[in-house]
Amino acid sequence: MTPYHHGDLRAELLRHAARRIEEAGPAGLSLRELARDAGVSHAAPRQHFRDKQALLDALVISGLERLGRRLDRALRDPGEGFDERLTRFARAYIRFATQNRELLALMFARKDAPDATDELRAANEAAFAAPRAMVDHAAANGDIADTDADRVAMAILATVHGLAAIIIGGMIGDRSPDTVVAGTVNVLARGLSRAH
């Protein structure tokens, strides 16, 4: 453990929390242990997080921001075909999911919770802005037949999230994740183009 001496304690605590949550899940996270990890007093984390739930919400917002940056980078070029953009979205999402399993589960659990904050909901909207724009662009170009962008976006997310769960669960046999992603996206894109 390297003791914390200066800089941004909030960011340092979130880094330690992200690591701990992947090791032990949300139940294994405590402000006291994070203080010990960061080399600060037990009271220091409370300057930034009033309680464990505030820490978890901040961790979710941070995770959504990181996911959003990945998706933005993956979908930066709108000039490519829908299939290629959809493949890049799926790969970026699945890479994040496999690297942040516990965090992603927490992100999905908290974003729609009855007590979710406006900040948390806004972070979720921002994280998925680029994929939503991808769907809107595909609908405007006639790449997909279904004009209900919300329905299409939900179908895409459900498929890609499910695919991530299958890959994480080791249910793809000896196939490579890239091969599975490419094949699934191909089927999905063909189905969307034939929707009525």
pLDDT digits over 47-61, tens only? Answer: 999 999 999 999 999
Residue 172, Cβ density class (10 Å: 0-12 exposed, 13-18 middle, ≥19 buried): middle
pLDDT of 71 > 90? The answer is yes
Q: What is the pLDDT of residue 128?
A: 96
Residue 15, Cβ density class (10 Å: 0-12 exposed, 13-18 middle, ≥19 buried): middle
Domains of the chain, by residue range, sit at: 1-49, 68-193
Q: Does residue 107 contact residue 161 with C-beta atoms inside 8 Å?
A: no
Fold of the domain built from segment(s) 1-49: Arc Repressor Mutant, subunit A (1.10.10)
Q: What is the pLDDT of residue 111?
A: 82
Fold of the domain built from segment(s) 68-193: Tetracycline Repressor; domain 2 (1.10.357)
For residue 196, what pLDDT band results from cuts at 50, 70 and 90? very low
Cβ partners under 8 Å of residue 1, min gap 6? 36, 37, 39
For residue 131, what pLDDT band results from cuts at 50, 70 and 90? very high
- Over range 136-146, report the average pLDDT: 89
For residue 6, give the amino acid letter. H
pLDDT of 4 > 50? The answer is no
For residue 186, what pLDDT band results from cuts at 50, 70 and 90? very high
- Over range 137-151, report the average pLDDT: 89
Average pLDDT, rounded, for the chain? 91
DSSP state of 47: G
Q: What is the pLDDT of residue 113?
A: 85
Q: Does residue 88 contact residue 75 with C-beta atoms inside 8 Å?
A: yes
The per-residue DSSP string of 122-138 comes to HHHHHHTHHHHHHHHHH
Q: What are the counts of helices (DSSP H) followed by strands (DSSP E) for the chain?
A: 9, 0
> Which run of H or E residues covers position 33?
helix 31-38
pLDDT digits over 147-183, tens only? Answer: 788 999 999 999 999 999 999 999 999 999 999 999 9
Q: What is the pLDDT of residue 119?
A: 94
